[in-house]
Amino acid sequence: MKISIKKETLLKPLTYVVGVVEKRQTLPILGNVFIKSVSNHLTIIGTDLETEITTFLNKVESEDGEITVGARKLFDIVRSMPDGAIINLDAKRENKVIVSSGRTRFTLQTLPAKDFPRLEVNDWDSEFKVSRSDLSGLLGATQFAMAQQDVRYFLNGLLFEAEPGILRTVATDGHRLARSEIAVSGIETAEVQRIVPRKAVLEMQRFLSSEGGGDVNVQINANHISVSTDQLIFQSKLIDGRFPDYNSVIPSNLSKHVEVKCSEFINVLVRAAILSNEKFKGVSLLLEPGLLKVSSNNPEQEQANDEMVVDYTGESVEVGFNVNYILDALRNLETDMVVLGLQDSNTSCTIKSPNIETTLYLIMPMRL
């Protein structure tokens, strides 16, 4: 097999597939990328047996054949070449591929392409199209609240909830919750709930947020999810578990609401966080008529106090929170003003835009 291709053309699909390839793997071939050429069309695949990305390149000068070669090594080689360089791959020698460009030449080991594992999925329970930018925005609004290596494995991912006309994502790590939804006209099936693993969500977002518009095709069944365009197919296994009833933890009796300027609130929190406990990152919010006061302290008996003027006339309430959780929510809302919903020192706080009901953040209180 021979391939002659421009650096930039090859680098883009390699950037996608190398993300799913594990640096440490039990099977050596899982460290490789699969490359197949048929009638001047290239297929490039990377997988870790849980997640798989397949990319397609058309009208490539090549001979038919297939190989697997070290994904990270090939990616680093291609990336190191000068812009506009022509990359040549020659796999005529057994168990070897020569990668060359100009006077530069690399000889890499290969493994049999027939041994490369694939995620074989044929039947899908539901299928719909959604705007690439809308899906990217949906993931971006919620993915930061996913748990990391929690023993409650079902929290180490993002809930996809599809119902007629609505696609919703929900994430929680047990201390905070993020929920967002978009309207999707193509969803006509009954309610479907599936949990997508954390790594798959991050890799999905990586290709969705790259250049390119239009729609993507989403397919879901009991065990897998697929998101695809004409040039790329992303597939992942799902987490087998039941996501918590998130609606039951969202308080409906919050009696104290205050609207604050998002950028000013972020600045106040950042300043207060400087002297917060490095381990717990706790800050105290005191809402009283006309003022929102933010304070923090640490084991060295140091204190920070700041405040901002707000339009509030109700009863005073003081609650402690992890400052990073609040900052994550504020920075992902992308709105000028936010509404805080409070009740007492033992009740979670809600954060949302005053004009957008589709996204909601919930932060659990902490004792300081």
Of 176 and 253, which is predicted with more confidence? 176
Residue 77 has pLDDT above 80, yes or no: yes
Q: State the average pLDDT over residues 338-363.
A: 96
Q: State the average pLDDT over residues 162-191.
A: 93
Q: For 2-115, CATH number?
A: 3.10.150.10
- Residue 166's DSSP bridge partners are 163, 183
Is the sign of the CA dihedral 222, 227, 233, 237 positive or negative?
Answer: negative
Residue 166 confidence (pLDDT): 95
Our CA dihedral for 194, 200, 204, 207, rounded to 10 degrees, sits at -170
Tens digit of each residue's pLDDT (9 = 90 or more) over 184-239: 988 887 889 999 999 999 999 999 988 678 999 999 999 999 999 999 999 999 99
Range of lowest pLDDT (114-118, 133-137, 144-148, 184-188): 184-188
Residue 24 confidence (pLDDT): 78
Residue 188 confidence (pLDDT): 82
Domain with CATH 3.10.150.10 in the chain: 2-115, 126-247, 250-363
pLDDT confidence of 46, banded at 50, 70, 90? very high
Residue 302 confidence (pLDDT): 96
For the record, the structure tokens of 353 come out as 């835009």
Fold of domain 250-363: DNA Polymerase III; Chain A, domain 2 (3.10.150)
Tens digit of each residue's pLDDT (9 = 90 or more) over 258-308: 999 999 999 999 999 999 999 999 999 999 999 999 999 999 999 999 999
Range of lowest pLDDT (63-72, 105-114, 210-219): 210-219
46 with 30: CB under 8 angstroms? no
Residue 342 confidence (pLDDT): 97
Residue 345 confidence (pLDDT): 95
Decide: helix, strand or coil at residue 71.
helix
Query: Rounded to whole angstroms, what are the CA distances from 297 to 44, 54, 279, 363, 368?
Result: 53, 51, 12, 20, 9
Query: Rounded to whole angstroms, what are the CA distances from 94 to 60, 110, 115?
Result: 23, 8, 15
Range of lowest pLDDT (110-114, 172-176, 201-205, 212-216): 212-216
Task: Tell me the H-state helices in the chain.
Answer: 7-18, 71-80, 132-142, 198-208, 262-273, 323-333
Residue 325 confidence (pLDDT): 98
Residue 346 has pLDDT above 80, yes or no: yes
Residue 93 confidence (pLDDT): 81
Q: State the average pLDDT over residues 116-137.
A: 92
Is the pTM of the predicted complex or chain greater than 0.85? yes
293 with 354: CB under 8 angstroms? no
Of 9 and 22, which is predicted with more confidence? 9
Residue 209 confidence (pLDDT): 87
Nearest Cα neighbor of 209 from 271, 134, 143, 281 is 134
| Percentage with pLDDT > 90 across the chain | 90
Average pLDDT across the chain, whole number: 95
Q: Which CATH class is domain 126-247?
A: alpha beta
